[in-house]
A = this chain, B = another copy of it.
Amino acid sequence: MTDDRWVPPPVLLTVDLVILTLRESRLQVLLVERGVEPYKGDLALPGGFLQHAEEDLITAAHRELSEEADLDVETLRLEQSGVYGAPGRDPRGRVVSVAYLAIAPRLPEPTAGTDAADARWQPVDHVLSGDLELAFDHRRIVEDGVERARVKLEHSALATAFCGPIFTITELQEVYEAVWGIPLDPRNFYRKVQKTDGFIIPAGSARKSATGRPARLFKAGRREVLYPPMVRPSESSNAKEQ
């Protein structure tokens, strides 16, 4: 099968970023309008080719993150979310894309970057429902990224990363509700979060809303892995396989 003169086919590598945030109590994903062919003018995930042969994947992801959105790279956790390498996915040739997932607190409207004609937040439901068409196979990448975020919310303290440095329990609950897309009972949520040791740490008390009793403030604790995990209700009737 392998010839003496055979050489492996080169491929081009891109990193694509699924940057999720919370705006107006909805889970939103950062999309850019492509400024170049192919799919020029269409919406797509921020990302791009590896810069040079020595660039690390995670480095490239961070570079694209700061290039295409004016975000503070330090505060963002970045994690690999999948590889997409189907032969026909990019008309420019054999392009394999490594997807990275980033979770961010409320962010400002991003400034347009170099490769992107425009960059803006879009609700993920619009993407998942298909109302919003994305270039390449980026819709699938968003789907996988969102599902990964949902699972991570169960088992890790990731939700605090969606909030600012100081937050109320209600705000934290809103994060879960937005990402999971379901309502939660405030009292059970309160109890669960409070008794999960090291999840959140008290940080004084202050007013938050215009009316009502002032909420206590918290900051993220040291615990990364939540055990027992936060449970997503009615998980009995789902099906999610590769």
Contacts and interface: CB of A to CB of B under 8 A. Distances in A.
B79 A242 contact: yes
Interface in A202-242: 224-225, 227, 235-236, 238-242
A133 interface: no
Interface in A6-48: 8-14
Interface residues of A, number: 43
B239 A225 contact: yes
Given A57-B83, A236-B227, A115 B2 contact: yes
Contacts of A156: 241
A55 interface: yes
Contacts of A235: 227
A98 B85 contact: yes
Contacts of A86: 56-57
8 contacts: A8-B50, A9-B49, A9-B52, A9-B55, A11-B50, A13-B85, A53-B94, A156-B241
Given A9-B52, A53-B87, A227-B235, 4 more contacts: A13-B96, A56-B86, A80-B242, A156-B241
